[in-house]
Amino acid sequence: MSVVSGASDLRPAIARAVGVDVGAVTDVRPTAGGDVSRASTAVVAGQRCFVKHVDPPVPGLLASEAASLDWLAEPAAITVPRVVGVADVHGGDDTHRGAGPAVLVLAFVEAGRPAVDHDEALGRGLAALHRAGADAFGASWAGFVGTVPQPNEPTGTWADFLGTKRLWPTALIADERGALPPGTLDALEGLVDRLPDRLGPPEPPARLHGDLWGGNAMVGTDGLPVLVDPASFGGHREVDLAMMRLFGGFGSGVFDAYDEVFPLADGNADRVELYQLHPLLVHAAMFGGGYGRRARATIDRYR
């Protein structure tokens, strides 16, 4: 787990990220945050902001989230926090290295209570986001889920991307950390070879959130959904929907509204657990426990 700076250290980093004088950053206060980064609020040039910060930086982590948010915002299909600025470390020659924590500065989103049509709005908005599409399976920025790196170099087919850029590299990390049962990598190799026959009808790449569990969907003051903490890339839309079902938190009305706008291909119910394999491997790599055994059971089911 990263050692995270206190709020009192953040003013220079926030100023650097946004491109303002340090004197324009005031009222920096710690607030509730996640496991990967810590969070604060600040007033930046008169605007209230939410600040995620990691110290020492995980190179590219917050820049990846910023790129994901900007990309999700492009089609204006569903609300995401606006990126105000980001200062991250990308490599050994980065001028920000050693200059304090990596920070991501976002426009503050005030939390509210769900409106009567919240679930319908979420389902329809997610369908519109997916329909906005992507140029390829992958993305132009380096990816992360939590602190687990996710290669995003585009590939020609969805089966190739899922196998070589998601399942296999994540399983290698989990295995190196002792989180997978013996023989899991051999079993996964067999599944990866068979993915073209397991993934249903071909579809063009969708614009994915990439880590859509219940904690990453909040409600704004208008009562409508706001998606946060993405790990975006171009992929199959059933990825987001399977993740939403893995840990719960989404009502049936969300999925009904989605299906009205953008019906899923036949056999999608039989693929839900297959598309939950990658997040299980991520959780095995990050937390260990029973996630590795669940991942192995899923591999055995589909190979």
Sorted by where each begins, the domain ranges of the chain are 7-107, 118-302
Query: Is the omega angle on the peptide bond into residue 56 within 30 degrees of 0, that is, cis?
Result: yes
Class level of CATH domain 7-107? alpha beta
| pLDDT mean over 167-176 | 98
Quick: pLDDT tens for 58-115.
Answer: 999 999 999 999 999 999 999 999 999 999 976 443 444 445 799 999 999 999 999 9
Q: Write a three-state SS string for 39-79.
A: EEEEEECCEEEEEEEECCCCCCHHHHHHHHHHHHHCCCCCE
Predicted model pTM: 0.93
Strand-pairing partners, residue 110, are none
What is the third-level CATH fold of 118-302? Aminoglycoside 3'-phosphotransferase; Chain: A, domain 2 (3.90.1200)
pLDDT digits (tens, 9 = 90+) for 19-55: 999 999 999 999 986 667 899 999 999 999 999 999 8
CA distances from 181 to 57, 178, 290 (A): 32, 8, 10
Residue 165: predicted pLDDT: 98
Q: Which of 55, 211, 229, 240 is catalytic?
A: 211
pLDDT of 90 reads: 63
Q: Is 117 a catalytic residue?
A: no
- In whole angstroms, give the CA distance from residue 10 to residue 158: 41
pLDDT digits 0-9 by tens, 148-161: 999 999 999 999 99
Which residue's structure tokens are 């915002």? 73
